[in-house]
Amino acid sequence: MADHQPPEVLERFTPTAGRWVGVVGLVVLALVAVAVLMAGLDRATVLVLAICALLGVLTFAALVRPTVHARSDHLLIRNAWTSKRIPWRAVTDVDVRQTLQVSTGDEVHHAIAIGKSARKILRGNLPGAGPSGAFGSQSSREFATRPTLEGSEVVGTDYADYVALKVQTYASTRRSPSETLHEAGPDDAVVRTVAWPLVVAPVALLVAVVVLALLG
């Protein structure tokens, strides 16, 4: 029996905001923890370490973990505490506002790793602005017929718009010509998973912080 091969990663999209802030925050928290440990270990030290650990887990979940990956058979969206695998043929619409919005029929899936600021959204709504990334726009339909968006095709395009257009392109080109958006089957279901360690750890650390604070 042939070994099951994991889906090929086609593209890892760079988060538009938050990741570097999160990384810097984790480094700062680690330095604080080391400095506290060097001062000696007592109940107050353990309380500070628990607080640093709690803030570290929350920082990682909210700012570092969120990602969007295009894979050979699905789009992977990782948010703070959940992940979603969206088959390409299930995608019916793509847009980008404060978050990347991927629709599968009547359901909209938000990816917090990719988004635009309110200023960029308002500027993009002005007459003569570039492509908004909406799946149904004329410029989006034109981009969706192309296998790639590289080089001169993306010059002057906001990166969040580029991601929306590229996700749309993958959804169009990874679907076979015989498939339609209305032929949904078991393989088209969106798979949701919960990052339980990132859910349980903050709760446990918060309880520890409260207990240590009361004991102190």
Residues 115-120 have a mean pLDDT of: 80
| DSSP annotation string for 71-111 | ESSEEEEE-SSEEEEEEGGG--EEEESSSEEEEETTEEEEE
- Return the higher-pLDDT residue of 177 and 175: 175
Say whether both 139 and 205 belong to one domain.
no
Say whether both 131 and 202 belong to one domain.
no
Q: Rounded CA gap, 209 and 57, in Å?
A: 14
Query: Could you tell me which residues come within 8 angstroms of residue 20 by beta carbon, excluding any fewer than 6 positions away?
Result: none
Whole-number pLDDT of residue 123? 66
- Return the higher-pLDDT residue of 124 and 26: 26
Share of the chain above pLDDT 70, in %: 75
Is residue 6 domain-resident? no
The DSSP 8-state label assigned to residue 11 in this structure reads E
Is residue 4 domain-resident? no
As given in the structure block, the two tokens for residue 35 are: 């400095």
Say whether both 121 and 155 belong to one domain.
yes
Say if residues 90 and 188 touch (Cβ distance below 8 Å): yes
Per-residue model confidence as pLDDT tens digits over 1-33: 445 677 889 999 999 878 999 999 999 999 999
CA-based nearest residue to 140, from 96, 200, 202, 182: 96
Is residue 34 domain-resident? yes
Say whether both 75 and 131 belong to one domain.
yes
Is residue 1 domain-resident? no
Q: Rounded CA gap, 168 and 171, in Å?
A: 5
Residues 73-84 have a mean pLDDT of: 97
Residue 73, pLDDT above cutoff 90:
yes
Q: Which structural domain range is residue 102 located in?
A: 67-178+188-193
* Reported pTM: 0.79
Domain count, the chain: 2
Residue 86, pLDDT above cutoff 70:
yes
Is residue 88 domain-resident? yes
Q: Which of 120-124, 152-156, 183-187 has the highest mean pLDDT?
A: 120-124
| Residue 203 buriedness (CB in 10 A; 0-12 / 13-18 / 19+) | exposed
Say whether both 46 and 72 belong to one domain.
no
Whole-number pLDDT of residue 89? 93
Mean pLDDT of the chain: 82
User: Reduced to 3 states, what is the DSSP secondary structure of residue 150?
Assistant: coil
Whole-number pLDDT of residue 3? 55
Say whether both 106 and 53 belong to one domain.
no
Q: Rounded CA gap, 93 and 91, in Å?
A: 6
Q: What angle do CA 196, 111, 59 make, to 5 degrees?
A: 50
CA-based nearest residue to 162, from 174, 172, 149: 149
State the residue for tokens 């240590």: 212
Whole-number pLDDT of residue 196? 97
CA-based nearest residue to 144, from 125, 129, 127, 166: 166
Say whether both 38 and 88 belong to one domain.
no
Is residue 21 domain-resident? yes
Say whether both 154 and 211 belong to one domain.
no
